[in-house]
Amino acid sequence: MGFLSGKRALIVGVASKRSIAWAIAESFAEQGAELAFTYQNEKLKSRVDEIAEQTDSNINIELDVTSDESIENCFAELKNHWDEFDILVHSVGFAPREALAGRFLEATDRESWSIAQDISAYSLTALSRAAYPFMKERQGSVLTLSYLGAVRSVKNYNLMGPAKAALESSVRFLAADLGGEGIRVNAISAGPIKTLAASGVAGFREMLNGYAEMAPLKRNITAAEVGNASAFLCSDLASGITGQVLYVDAGFNITGFAG
């Protein structure tokens, strides 16, 4: 019996086998959780269907977080399967590609800023609100994925930094708001991992090399390591932990000078 047995989790953010959300789903399934998935659009449906099947889940619902109607429809459909669930995983982030290269000052326009904030930060609160009626009797837990760019400047991460800062702040406000019902809200700040969202990012390979050199563990992290830490944070083993940002980054963030 795993430490998530008897728990039901909704996983938002699987796009491929490399997605961090997929590694989280695998760890959750290993620990005995029952899973439901969402897919962003028709193009991704069959891929997520296939992935869901591997964790014995037959729940896969369309969800575009930029649309209130899509959020409403998604949770209405979920209601046909589950009256309640325990865990919401939010593993969603996006900014227009042009905004993620070059000088921050030049690359940051109003439209890109608003898209990055909407998809990467606001969606956590929107999904938490929709999930609340399902979770409120079950002392559930919400988890999101952040990155060091929330609190440090990182070349080319640009406006995603302020979006992750808003996301991490939302974790604290949601934790305070939902704590009364026993619902915990946390983030994992992951080190760089080669996923779809990282592909095509200029200099990503150099970044992986730099991390491995500087991080206390002298290597990069795996998506499975994020999955395992997620399983812990969303389980009763972490019942005293809320409003936190847990770094799963081989220790990179604590380094000042790596000799």
- Could you list the residues that contact ligand NAD (CB under 6 A)? 13-16, 19-21, 40, 63-66, 91-94, 119, 145, 147, 190, 192-193, 195-198
> Interface with ligand 0WE includes 154 (CB under 6 A)?
yes
> Which position among 89, 192, 235, 250 is part of the footprint of ligand 0WE (CB under 6 A)?
192
Q: Residue 100 binds which entry of ligand NAD, ligand 0WE, none, with Cβ cut-offs from 5 to 8 Å by kind?
A: ligand 0WE
Please report how close the Cβ of residue 68 comes to ligand NAD at its closest, in angstroms.
Answer: 12
Q: Is 211 a catalytic residue?
A: no
Please choose, from the candidates 72, 81, 79, 82, the residue with its C-alpha nearest in 3D space to the C-alpha of residue 129.
72
- CA atoms of 241 and 195, how far apart (whole Å): 28
Please report how close the Cβ of residue 213 comes to ligand NAD at its closest, in angstroms.
Answer: 17
Q: What is the three-class DSSP state of 1?
A: coil
Q: Is 247 a catalytic residue?
A: no
Host H or E run for residue 28: helix 20-30
Residues 109-138 interacting with ligand 0WE (rule: CB under 6 A): none
Q: Residue 15 binds which entry of ligand 0WE, ligand NAD, none, with Cβ cut-offs from 5 to 8 Å by kind?
A: ligand NAD
Q: Residue 25 binds which entry of ligand 0WE, ligand NAD, none, with Cβ cut-offs from 5 to 8 Å by kind?
A: none
Q: Residue 97 binds which entry of ligand 0WE, ligand NAD, none, with Cβ cut-offs from 5 to 8 Å by kind?
A: ligand 0WE
Q: Are 30 and 2 in contact (CB under 8 A)?
A: yes
Name the amino acid, one letter, at 42: E
Contacts with 245 (C-beta within 8 Å, 6 or more apart), sequence order: 146, 150, 168, 171, 186, 187, 188, 189
Q: Are 232 and 33 in contact (CB under 8 A)?
A: no
> Interface with ligand 0WE includes 39 (CB under 6 A)?
no
Give the burial class of 223: count Cβ atoms within 10 A of its Cβ; 0-12 exposed, 13-18 middle, 19 or more buried: buried
> Interface with ligand 0WE includes 59 (CB under 6 A)?
no
Give the range of 16-24, 61-69, 195-203, 242-250 binding ligand 0WE by CB under 6 A.
Answer: 195-203
Angle between helix axes 160-178 and 110-117 (nearest 10 degrees) is: 30
Residues that bind ligand 0WE (CB under 6 A): 93-95, 97, 100, 147, 154, 156-157, 160, 192, 197-198, 200-201
